[in-house]
Structure 1
Amino acid sequence: MNSSKTRIVVLGGGFAGLNFVKHIDKDKFDITLVDRHNHHSFPPLFYQVASSEIDPSSISFPFRRELVKKASGRVKFHMESARSVDVSRHCVITDHGSIPYDKLVIAFGTTNNFFGNDALKDEVYTLKSNDQAIRIRNEILYRCERASIEPDREKRRRMLTFVVIGGGPAGVEMAGAIGELKRYILRRDYPDIPLEDMTVSLYEGRDKLLASMSAESSETALKDLKSLLVDIHLGRQMKSYADNLLTFDDGSTLYSEMVIWTAGVTGRPLEFEGTDFRQGRGGRFPTDRFCRVTGLDDIFAIGDVNLMTTEEYP
């Protein structure tokens, strides 16, 4: 790299990170983009990949192809996972070595929040990447194929009991997509499966769907999901999931071999060496109005991992 330029390392090629490197002045800065994947994806449509409505390539493109457009080819790309940041040496430690920086921009985005129950990570299905969406898609189709030739009705019903935990946007979309499969596709593609043998359930701990949105949006989502034959359970929090048995806060249980977790997000963790800095509320990085991380020099945070509080927006 040109030592006369300020070296900027960007961690994460999501909406924030990719737009940042595309628009910054390449004549003034040496820029390195680091991401654990070699492609950018459009997360709002992961649920359509998971329900076989679109192909993964429809919502993804390679970073390297994008970075050669509009003279952006001067951006270096590293397919690596950032493990920690050594603030005294000004370098990012990755799973393949280290990358020095003058300025560091953290644009990790968020990951699944299991609210302290990290054992769930290996038990449930999640929807934060194309790989995870493809895994859900393959499992749903596999279960439909197996159920279509299963003579034991109880076993068939167990195969086709799908549960979505979390009534936010991702949960509503995912439950609705499986509901569309039940209402519109099952009779046509799987005529040997009785409609009542498939169950799609959505559980939300609060008393309404889409709690962060308007009352009208919540009511519309509830109405539309019911029309897609989705069973809605509000005010019910999942406490545990083991041996395919869900346990809820009211003591009730439900057997399901496929639980899709969309109950919340948290900032991706990142370790810091040479400082006692810790990430803030929700795993996010507290910043000032210029996106500078509070308590760290030459480090910025943008996108979903940024926690910028003001008097107007506390």
Structure 2
Amino acid sequence: MSTKQKIVVIGGGFAGLNFVKKIDKSKFDVTLVDKHNYHTFPPLFYQVASSELDPTSICFPLRRELRKHNCHGVAFHIGKVRKIDVAAKTISTDYETTHYDKLVIALGTTNNFFGNKDLIKDVYTLKSTDQAIRIRNEILFRCERAAVEPDNEKRRRMLSFVVIGGGPAGVEIAGAVGELKRYILKRDYPGIAPDDLSITIIEGTDRLLGTMSREASDTALRDLNQLMVEVKLGRLMKTYNDNVITLDDGSTIYSEMVIWTAGVTGVPIEFSGTDYKAGRGGCFPTDQYCRIEGLEDIYAIGD
């Protein structure tokens, strides 16, 4: 039996994978747990969604990476973590319960619907490879259907796209659909006029890319306008029912495909054996060593 302490890392994204590469395996037994058996590169989800990249271009098997020298000895277990029992020092997934001496949470973020959970049934999201593929397939299917639709109004409705959220992901996917409108339709779908496709991006603040510089915001706005993307700033979506978006000023937009990129929140996880609750936005407040404040032997890293 090994006398080394066991570290369990939840999440094989940037933070989790880099952690298991750097930690001294001669001092710890390390197990990496993830709901997928592959690592992805999230900044390029929009390129998969817009058919500019194949999914395999941004994904690679975790087990292949763990065979490399700096990961020698790291075990991989597949499973979505359902519960952390702080008292028993175990995590429970869909398939097993695993003991830890020290736990590292690196689950990243998921979509934030700001309390409107019903939206998940009606909108398209862009937080995983599967979601990006779903968007890609739907956009292509709509273009194919529109190419053989004789009714002008039905064709325009099929090609009515709205992106909610003017952050990096929203700007990127809106720009990609704008490129489809300006450059690709006339080449691949000559029967569809560019004006038949509408793409609108809605942002609640007064500028795009709010976390970046004013120059970046202005450049993004200029480039989206050149790609024939309509930009609505200072507007919030209130409801989305029967393909109609209602904004906070009472105006409406018809859209048969809404892509939600309006915000993120921490991946929710259940704790037992403690009364601990995650902070605002699902965040875990930590000290300077990434130890979660209020929990013993549990750390949080990454998004």
> TM-score range with shorter-chain normalisation?
over 0.9
Runs of 4+ in 1 over 4 A off after TM superposition: none
- Overall identity of the aligned pairs, in %: 68
The structural deviation recorded for 1:71 is 4.5
Q: Which residue of 2 aligns with 1:29?
A: 28
- The RMSD of aligned alpha carbons is 0.7
The structural deviation recorded for 1:3 is 3.1
Q: Which residue of 1 aligns with 2:182?
A: 183
Q: Which residue of 2 aligns with 1:16?
A: 15
Residues 147-183 of structure 1: per-residue CA shift (max 9 Å, x gap): 0000011100000001000000000000000000111
Tell me the amino acid that sits aligned with residue 110 of structure 1.
T
Tell me the amino acid that sits aligned with residue 173 of structure 1.
E
The answer to whether the 8 A contact 2:166-2:209 is kept is: yes
Q: Which residue of 2 aligns with 1:310?
A: none
CA distance in 1, matches of 2:6, 2:164: 43
Larger CA deviation: 249-258 vs 138-147? 249-258
Q: Which residue of 1 aligns with 2:78?
A: 79
The answer to whether the 8 A contact 2:206-2:233 is kept is: yes
DSSP 3-state at the match of 2:293:
coil
CA distance in 2, matches of 1:156, 1:88: 59
Residues 223-267 of structure 1: per-residue CA shift (max 9 Å, x gap): 000001100000010011122111110111111110000000000
CA distance in 2, matches of 1:71, 1:250: 55
CA distance in 1, matches of 2:215, 2:70: 45
The structural deviation recorded for 1:73 is 3.2
DSSP 3-state at the match of 2:134:
helix
In the superposition, the TM-score normalised over structure 2's length comes to 0.99
CA distance in 2, matches of 1:286, 1:71: 30
CA distance in 2, matches of 1:200, 1:232: 9
Alignment of 1:212-227 (within 5 A): 212-227=211-226
Is it true that 1:95 corresponds to 2:94 in the alignment?
yes
Residues 102-123 of structure 1: per-residue CA shift (max 9 Å, x gap): 0000000000000000111111
Residues 26-85 of structure 1: per-residue CA shift (max 9 Å, x gap): 111101101111100000000000000010101110000000001513111111000010
CA distance in 2, matches of 1:73, 1:3: 16
DSSP 3-state at the match of 1:303:
coil
Tell me the amino acid that sits aligned with residue 295 of structure 1.
G
Larger CA deviation: 238-247 vs 255-264? 238-247
CA distance in 2, matches of 1:36, 1:257: 31
In the superposition, the TM-score normalised over structure 1's length comes to 0.95
Alignment of 1:1-314 (within 5 A): 2-304=1-303
The structural deviation recorded for 1:217 is 0.2
CA distance in 1, matches of 2:207, 2:282: 25
CA distance in 1, matches of 2:277, 2:226: 46
DSSP 3-state at the match of 1:292:
coil
Q: Which residue of 2 aligns with 1:307?
A: none
CA distance in 2, matches of 1:71, 1:14: 16
Query: Mind listing any 5+ residue stretches in structure 1 that lack a counterpart?
Result: 305-314
Query: Mind listing any 5+ residue stretches in structure 2 that lack a counterpart?
Result: none
Aligned length: 303
DSSP 3-state at the match of 2:240:
strand
The answer to whether the 8 A contact 2:22-2:70 is kept is: no
